[in-house]
Structure formats: structure tokens, C-alpha cells
């Protein structure tokens, strides 16, 4: 995979760029894909399962997108990951065109990264769409929502790294109350080095995906 860190980037600009990369991967038969890291200014995005009650007092921008899942928040307190991969290419331990396996591998890489920081997390343990993601007990620390075009993945995951009390206010993220969400810093009760986190996350994603 080709790794790129886009840094802070407007959500729509990042989406447009992802779609450009989807076309690059889809037309290159042997292309290894891209692994993108970035952060976004505060925005709420609505997925295909979004319900009217999911957004009730959010004051910022809202963007409707094609990923699965319900409404969720993206903001500068998160590390956002966009793998752009060809699911037609079989990978170790996973058959080609197997979306559920891809999601589980994605969750596993985030879980292993959190374990490195002494956060004992786990991936989705049910068949409910809203439970997709990474959990610490009954609280959610990472949200996953993907889309697939021409068997190329885009969209991805948002991991709550820094504590931001304004994040998730005014929405029911993934259909849950805002207090369901937790950050690494809130759980550990100390600052987290985002660069160290990204280095470990990149290693685990490149190994799993």
C-alpha cells in the first residue's frame, strides 16, 4: 500500500480526493492501493442508515455521504483512516470480495493498536450495523463506515484520540447517546502522542490489510 498523511483537510476535499484514488486503483490491475491518514474540521456526516432523530441540535456543517452506518462526527480530535483497496485481490486469511472480513481485519488493526497503549478494546461482536467499530466495554472509541465502488474500498474509520468535550454534542452518533463515545485520552486520563499512535496504527493496518 502507498501511505499518505494528508494532515488537516476539509471533509469534502478529502472525499473528492478519495474518489480520484478509487479510479486510480480500479484502473491499475496490480495497484497495491492507498492508506490515507488525515484529520477534519468539525463536521457531521450521514450514512445510508441515518435516522431523522440522529441529529437534533448540532450547529455545524452536515454532509450526506454514501458509506454505511448512521450519522457520526468527524473532528480535529480524531485520527481518520481511509484505506483505498481492491477487494478483488485476495489477501492473507481473507477471500476476495469479502467485505465483512475486510471490516473485521480493519477493526482488528485498531484493536491491536489500542492494546499497545494499554486500552483493552474489542471489535464488533454482533451482526448489528450500529455495533460496527471498536469498543472499550460499553463505550465506543472508533467508528467504522465504508463504501465500495468497483470493488474498491473508500471511507474508513475515525478513532477518538484526544478529548474534546464538544465532540458528538447534538447528535446520536451511530444511533447511540453522545456519552457512549470515549476518547483514548479520556480513558487513560492523560495526554496521548498522536504521532506515536499513528505510527503504531500504520504498522498494524499494513500488516492486517
pLDDT digits (tens, 9 = 90+) for 67-82: 878 899 999 999 999 9
pLDDT for the residue 89: 79
pLDDT for the residue 92: 61
How far is it, in rounded angstroms, from Cα 107 to Cα 205? 9
In the residue annotation, 38 being an active-site residue is answered as: no
If phi > 0 it is left, if psi is from -120 to 50 it is alpha, else beta; for residue 151 that is left
Backbone angles phi, psi at 73, to 5 degrees: -105, 145
Cell 469498543, located at residue = 135
Q: What is the mean pLDDT of residues 183-206?
A: 97
DSSP secondary structure of 109-175 = HHHHHHHHTT---EE--SS-GGG-EEEETTEEEEEEEEEEETTEEEEEEEEE-S--TTTTTTB-GGG
pTM > 0.85:
yes
Percentage of residues in the chain having pLDDT higher than 90:
78
Alpha helices (H) along 5-98: 11-27
Q: What is the CATH number of the domain that holds 154?
A: 3.30.930.10
Domain with 203 in it: 2-208
Residue 193 in 3-state DSSP?
A: coil
- Do residues 39 and 78 touch, judged by C-beta distance below 8 A? yes
Q: How confident is the model at residue 93 (pLDDT cuts 50, 70, 90)?
A: low
Of 174, 181, 184, 209, which one is the catalytic site residue?
174
pLDDT for the residue 173: 93
Q: What is the mean pLDDT of residues 113-137?
A: 86
- Do residues 185 and 192 touch, judged by C-beta distance below 8 A? yes
How far is it, in rounded angstroms, from Cα 73 to Cα 99? 23
Burial (Cβ within 10 Å: 0-12, 13-18, ≥19) of residue 27:
exposed
How far is it, in rounded angstroms, from Cα 136 to Cα 157? 16
pLDDT for the residue 125: 67
Does 129 have pLDDT greater than 80? no
pLDDT for the residue 97: 61
CA distances from 18 to 8, 25, 82, 184 (A): 15, 10, 8, 27
Provide the domain count of the chain: 1
How far is it, in rounded angstroms, from Cα 77 to Cα 39? 8
CA distances from 153 to 40, 110, 138, 177 (A): 20, 17, 28, 28
Amino acid at each position: 500500500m502507498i501511505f499518505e498523511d494528508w494532515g488537516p483537510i476539509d471533509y469534502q476535499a478529502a472525499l473528492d480526493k478519495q474518489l480520484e484514488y478509487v479510479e486510480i486503483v480500479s484502473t491499475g490491475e496490480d495497484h497495491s492501493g492507498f492508506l490515507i491518514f488525515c484529520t477534519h474540521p468539525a463536521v457531521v456526516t450521514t450514512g445510508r442508515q441515518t435516522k431523522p432523530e440522529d441529529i437534533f441540535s448540532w450547529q455545524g456543517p452536515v454532509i450526506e455521504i454514501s458509506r454505511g452506518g448512521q450519522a457520526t462526527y468527524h473532528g480535529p480530535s480524531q485520527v481518520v483512516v481511509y484505506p483505498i483497496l481492491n477487494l478483488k485481490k485476495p489477501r492473507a486469511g481473507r477471500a476476495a470480495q469479502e467485505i465483512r472480513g475486510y471490516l473485521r481485519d480493519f477493526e482488528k488493526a485498531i484493536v491491536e493498536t489500542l492494546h499497545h497503549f494499554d486500552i483493552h478494546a474489542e471489535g464488533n461482536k454482533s451482526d448489528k450495523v450500529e455495533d460496527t467499530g471498536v469498543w472499550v466495554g460499553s463505550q465506543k472509541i472508533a467508528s467504522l463506515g465504508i463504501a465500495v465502488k468497483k470493488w474498491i474500498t473508500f471511507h474508513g474509520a475515525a478513532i477518538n484520540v484526544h478529548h474534546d468535550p464538544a465532540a458528538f454534542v447534538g447528535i446520536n452518533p451511530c444511533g447511540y447517546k453522545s456519552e457512549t463515545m470515549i476518547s483514548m485520552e479520556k480513558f487513560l486520563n492523560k495526554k496521548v502522542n498522536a504521532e506515536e499512535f499513528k505510527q503504531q496504527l500504520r504498522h498494524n493496518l499494513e500488516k492486517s490489510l
